[in-house]
C-alpha cells in the first residue's frame, strides 16, 4: 500500500496482527522508543530517558479528558476528576497564524488560557504527577482570521519559499513543546493536529520533524489526524507510537437516533480504522472525541457552530455509550481523550448548555462507568 512519503508498507495479515497484539499487547509502545543524543540528567524525559509503558497490557486503555482551565487547577479539582476514572489529561497550547495562506507561526507561551501557557503546563504537570495522572501535550495552530471556510486543515502555500518559511516556524513551535514536555516529565506528545493539507503536500517535512523531536524528547509520540479522511493520508504513522484520530465521525442523519442506531453508524469507520492499524501495526488512540448537548448529537459531532436546541444531554450520553460499546473491547484500540473538561465548569446549567463538556450531565456518568469498568 503506497503512502505519502512512506514508501511501500506491507500489510500485516489480520490473524498474525491480532496475535501480535495479544502476545505483546501495547508494550510495543514504550516511552523513549526513539531518539538519540546525549542524556540529560536534568531532563526527566530526555531522548535517552525511558519510563514505564504507557499502556502495559491488552486490558489497559487511555482514560483521558482534554483539560482547559482559565484560572488554575486545584488538587481538589483534580481528585474529583480522578474519581470519575480519569487517568490522563490532554493539554492543548496554541500557536497563532494570521491566515491559512500566511507562512507565519507565532509561539504563545504566556497568552491564552492558563492551562495553555508554559507556566500553566508546568504547574499542571506537577499537580498531576502527585495524583498519578499522566499528560498528553497536543499543540494546535489557531488562525487569527478564518475566511471562506478556511481553517488549520487548509493551511497551504503557493510558493516553495513560503512553504519553507512556514516549516521553519512550525518546527520551532513543535520543538519548543518537545523540550517543555521533556523537562516537565510529560509522557505523550503530539507533533501536530488537523493539518490536513500540510500532511498531504509536505510528507518529507513530517518525517524530518519527527526525527528532530526524537532528538529532544524520549517520550511517546502521536499526531492528531482529523476524522474526515486525513487519518488515512498520514504517511508517517510508521514513525509514531500511536495512530491519533480526532474522532468526530458522523454516525447518523437522525435527530433522535437510538444507541443501537449510533452503534451501527460506527461500523464503516471501524473498518477504516482497523485497516489502518493492520497496515502499520500501531494502536489507534482517539486524541479527541466528543459530542455536544444538542438534539442530533451524532449527526455532525465536529460542528461546534451548528445551532440546535439543548436536550439536557440525553443524546450526548447515548452517543458516548455507543462509542464505548463499539471500541472499548477492541485490542487495537488504545483509548481516548474526551473533549473537553473545565475544572471550574461545575456551575454549568446543564438544562440549557449546548457545549461539548460532559460535566454534570449523563455523559459524565457514562464516561465514568466505562473508565472504571474492568476490561475483558
Confidence label for 353 from pLDDT (cuts 50, 70 and 90) = confident
Confidence label for 376 from pLDDT (cuts 50, 70 and 90) = low
Q: State the pLDDT at residue 347.
A: 53
pLDDT tens-digit series, residues 216-230: 999 999 999 999 999
Tell me if residue 4 falls in helix, strand or coil. Answer: coil
Q: State the pLDDT at residue 97.
A: 96
- As a whole number of angstroms, the distance between CA 16 and CA 35 comes to 28
- As a whole number of angstroms, the distance between CA 4 and CA 234 comes to 7
Question: Span 8-35, mean pLDDT?
Answer: 36
Distance, CA of 296 to chain centre: 24
Q: State the pLDDT at residue 74.
A: 87
Residue 35 has pLDDT above 50, yes or no: no
Q: State the pLDDT at residue 37.
A: 37
pLDDT tens-digit series, residues 221-263: 999 999 999 999 999 999 999 999 999 999 999 999 999 999 9
Q: State the pLDDT at residue 195.
A: 96
- Higher local confidence (pLDDT), 313 or 1: 313
- Pure H helices in 131-255: 160-184, 196-201, 203-216
Whether 280 and 238 have beta carbons less than 8 Å apart is answered as yes
Domains of the chain: residue spans and CATH = 2-371 (3.20.20.80)
- Higher local confidence (pLDDT), 351 or 17: 351
Residue 41 has pLDDT above 50, yes or no: no
pLDDT tens-digit series, residues 141-158: 999 998 888 999 999 999
Looking from the CA of 145 toward its CB, the CA atoms found within 13 Å total 7
Amino acid at each position: 500500500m503506497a503512502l505519502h512519503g512512506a514508501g511501500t508498507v506491507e500489510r500485516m495479515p489480520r490473524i498474525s496482527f491480532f496475535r501480535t497484539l495479544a502476545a505483546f499487547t501495547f508494550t510495543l509502545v514504550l516511552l523513549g522508543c526513539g531518539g538519540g543524543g546525549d542524556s540529560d540528567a536534568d531532563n526527566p524525559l530526555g531522548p535517552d530517558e525511558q519510563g514505564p509503558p504507557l499502556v502495559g497490557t491488552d486490558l489497559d486503555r487511555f482514560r483521558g479528558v482534554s483539560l482547559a482551565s482559565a484560572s488554575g487547577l486545584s488538587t481538589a479539582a483534580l481528585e474529583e476528576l480522578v474519581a470519575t476514572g480519569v487517568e490522563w489529561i490532554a493539554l492543548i497550547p496554541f500557536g497563532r497564524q494570521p491566515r491559512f495562506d500566511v507562512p507565519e507561526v507565532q509561539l504563545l507561551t504566556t497568552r491564552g488560557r492558563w492551562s495553555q501557557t508554559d507556566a500553566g503546563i508546568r504547574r499542571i504537570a506537577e499537580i498531576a504527577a502527585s495524583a498519578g495522572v499522566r499528560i498528553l501535550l497536543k499543540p494546535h495552530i489557531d488562525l487569527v482570521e478564518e475566511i471562506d471556510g478556511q481553517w488549520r486543515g487548509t493551511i497551504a502555500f503557493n510558493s516553495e519559499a513560503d512553504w519553507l518559511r512556514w516549516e521553519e516556524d512550525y518546527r520551532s513551535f513543535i520543538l519548543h513543546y518537545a523540550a517543555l514536555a521533556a523537562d516537565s516529565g510529560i509522557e505523550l506528545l503530539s507533533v501536530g493536529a488537523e493539518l490536513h493539507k500540510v500532511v498531504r503536500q509536505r510528507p518529507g517535512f513530517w518525517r524530518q520533524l519527527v526525527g528532530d523531536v526524537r532528538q529532544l524528547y524520549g517520550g511517546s509520540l502521536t499526531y492528531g489526524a482529523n476524522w474526515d479522511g486525513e487519518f488515512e493520508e498520514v504517511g508517517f504513522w510508521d514513525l509514531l507510537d500511536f495512530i491519533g484520530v480526532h474522532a468526530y465521525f458522523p454516525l447518523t442523519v437522525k435527530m433522535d437516533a437510538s444507541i443501537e442506531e449510533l452503534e451501527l453508524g460506527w461500523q464503516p469507520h471501524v473498518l477504516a480504522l482497523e485497516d489502518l492499524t493492520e497496515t502499520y501495526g500501531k494502536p489507534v488512540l482517539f486524541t479527541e472525541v466528543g459530542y455536544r448537548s444538542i438534539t442530533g448529537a451524532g449527526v455532525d459531532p465536529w460542528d461546534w457552530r451548528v445551532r440546535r436546541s439543548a436536550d439536557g444531554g440525553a443524546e450526548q450520553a447515548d452517543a458516548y455509550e455507543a462509542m464505548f460499546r463499539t471500541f472499548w473491547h477492541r485490542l487495537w484500540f488504545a483509548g481516548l481523550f474526551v473533549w473537553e473538561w473545565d475544572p471550574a465548569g461545575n456551575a454549568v446549567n446543564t438544562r440549557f448548555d449546548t457545549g461539548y463538556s460532559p460535566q454534570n450531565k449523563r455523559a459524565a456518568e457514562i464516561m465514568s462507568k466505562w473508565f472504571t469498568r474492568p476490561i475483558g
